[in-house]
Amino acid sequence: MPYPKPTRRSWAEPFKIKVVEPLKTTTRQHRVEAIEEAGYNTFLLRSEDVYIDLLTDSGTNAMSDYQWAGMMLGDEAYAGSKNFYYLEANMQKYYGYKYLVPTHQGRGAEHIISQIMIKQGDYIPGNMYFTTTREHQERAGGAFVDVIIDDAHDPESPHPFKGNVDLQKLEDLIKKVGANKIPYISVAATVNMAGGQPISMENIKAVRKLTSSHGIKIILDATRAVENAYFIKTREKGYERKSIAAILKELCSYTDGATMSGKKDLLVNIGGFLAINDREIFDEARNMVVVFEGLHTYGGLAGRDMEAMARGMEEMTKEDYIRSRIGQVEYLGQKLIDWEIPIVRPIGGHAVFLDAKKILEHIPQDKFPAQTLAAEIYVDSGVRTMERGIVSAGRDSKTGENRHPKLELVRVTIPRRVYTQAHMDVTAESILEVYENRKKIRGLKMVYEPKHLRFFQARFEKI
Ligand code: F0G
């Protein structure tokens, strides 16, 4: 069949490929055995057995020649590396916070800020939980309270800013427990567990107003804040003509500090930081980082890693880069929508989220539909995705009961600058194949459950 003529002009990735890494293809029988050996958990597969790896966008980015060149300029001094000062200057330039504490990755920063700011019995509201963030809040004696808008829990709601905080829920919590029991609100941009959904500038401004009147701080999870800035630019009135860099800085200006996993927006393979405006918190954090990560001018990173992060900040805010980044996710998502496969709408910033609850509606949630679906996709094509449902949600820290999240999803996560449009086609076709044979799929039972962040290491067997 001839290809139809296009209805619009195409755009392409704003880079060309200089180094390639060969991919390994495997047989179906090999994959059937590999996934069984991995306990039907895609986290336990060997990467060698994976064809297209869409497990995560974390640390899986392709660095540019500019970043690789910077790696050779690593100043590996124990103290006062020049790469640290460059990173600090770029953090101030692009994010606008005063003080920087580098950490080995995002959870290092979450650990430090939680230990410093949270007391036993405190409450930490947030726009939906993230696994590691909540774990550190609970370890510090806090209780996480979800204050995201209801739309975020509905995969079909077309709300353009499903990451928004429900101000009424936040106000109710403040009334109920008292502002002195709430050291800060944890605001993520974008919201990973909701499907990579953004928060609007209008909403973060309103959160600032409400929290300021009660003396409550805002700590931003800035992990994918550049992707959030793109959604503000394309969806929010008044921001169409502003630069991504200006939007990012404005977003941060309504908050008091940020935890950051550099492994996402910053286009590197490792790294993170804590940024903060308050001098006292900074002094404590700088002291604590020495105990858990490394000296305050490297925080568990090599000098070259800090250089790559600093350079990544310059690249992440380029308009053509971010358009192609989100455009690729959209390309995959739109294909699935055209084929009427249920996914979270609108399409997120870093991933397409399959609605496993709907796709495998014959499998009850306690038989792990999303875990099952991810395993099936792997067997079909060697494409690796991951569960974001009841396994990820874990158990309630007080009652020990399984949490039953409304969202039971499979995340098809796109690394930055790594795969081409053809890889997206192969992925979409594999998902379609599994979707068309969905009635034959049976669920799983959990046979090993680790105590913390169980989704990483849990094991399952076929029912
Ligand atoms: N916050 C968000 C929103 C994240 O997505 C992650 C990591 C972290 C914090 C923790 O950062 O991994 O550098 O320690 N997300 C990865 C993922 C693991 O696959 O979504 P980290």
- Domains of the chain, with CATH numbers? 28-57+319-462 (3.90.1150.10), 65-316 (3.40.640.10)
How far apart are the CA of 166 and the centre of ligand 1, in A? 23
- Tell me how far the alpha carbon of residue 432 lies from the centroid of ligand 1, in angstroms: 28
Instruction: Give the residues across from 353 on adjacent strands.
Output: 411
CA angle 445, 146, 194 (to 5 degrees): 60
Q: How far apart are CA 251 and CA 245, in angstroms?
A: 10
Active site residue 399: no
Q: Exactly one of 388, 416, 417, 454 is catalytic; which is it? A: 388
Query: What are the two backbone dihedrals, phi and then psi, of residue 407, each rounded to the nearest 5 degrees?
Result: -90, 125
**Predicted pLDDT at 325:** 97
Helices (H), 317-443: 319-338, 356-359, 369-381, 390-393, 421-436
* 5 among known catalytic residues: no
- Confirm or reject: Cβ of 415 under 6 Å from ligand 1: no
Q: State the Cα angle at 65 between 60 and 70, rounded to 5°.
A: 90
Write down the catalytic residue from 130, 144, 273, 435: 130
Instruction: Walk along the chain (463 residues) and give the pLDDT tens digit of each residue.
Output: 788 898 888 889 999 999 999 999 999 999 999 999 999 999 999 999 999 999 999 999 999 999 999 999 999 999 999 999 999 999 999 999 999 999 999 999 999 999 999 999 999 999 999 999 999 999 999 999 999 999 999 999 999 999 999 999 999 999 999 999 999 999 999 999 999 999 999 999 999 999 999 999 999 999 999 999 999 999 999 999 999 999 999 999 999 999 999 999 999 999 999 999 999 999 999 999 999 999 999 999 999 999 999 999 999 999 999 999 999 999 999 999 999 999 999 999 999 999 999 999 999 999 999 999 999 999 999 999 999 999 999 998 889 999 999 999 999 999 999 999 999 999 999 999 999 999 999 999 999 999 999 999 999 999 9
Cis peptide before 155 (omega within 30 of 0): no
Do residues 303 and 81 touch, judged by C-beta distance below 8 A?
yes
Residue whose C-alpha is closest to residue 330's, from 346, 317, 354: 346
Does any ligand 1 atom lie closer than 6 A to the CB of residue 411? no
Ligand 1 in reach of 198 Cβ (< 6 A)? no
Pocket lining: 263 vs ligand 1, CB cutoff 6 Å: yes
Q: How wide is the angle at C-alpha 176 spanned by C-alphas 174 and 182, nearest 5°? A: 40
Query: What is the CA(56)–ligand 1 centre distance, in A?
Result: 9
Q: What is the model's pLDDT at position 2?
A: 81
Nearest CA to ligand 1 atom 5: 192
Predicted pLDDT at 6: 86
**Active-site entry in 97, 239, 435, 455:** 455
Place of tokens 């036993």: 120
**Catalytic site includes residue 166:** no
Whole-angstrom distance, CA of residue 298 vs CA of residue 81: 8
The reply to whether 9 belongs to the active site is no
| pLDDT of amino acid 3 | 84
For the question of residue 455 being annotated catalytic, the response is: yes
The CB of 200 under 6 Å from ligand 1? The reply is no
pTM across the whole model: 0.96
| CA–CA gap between residue 272 and residue 223 (Å, rounded) | 9
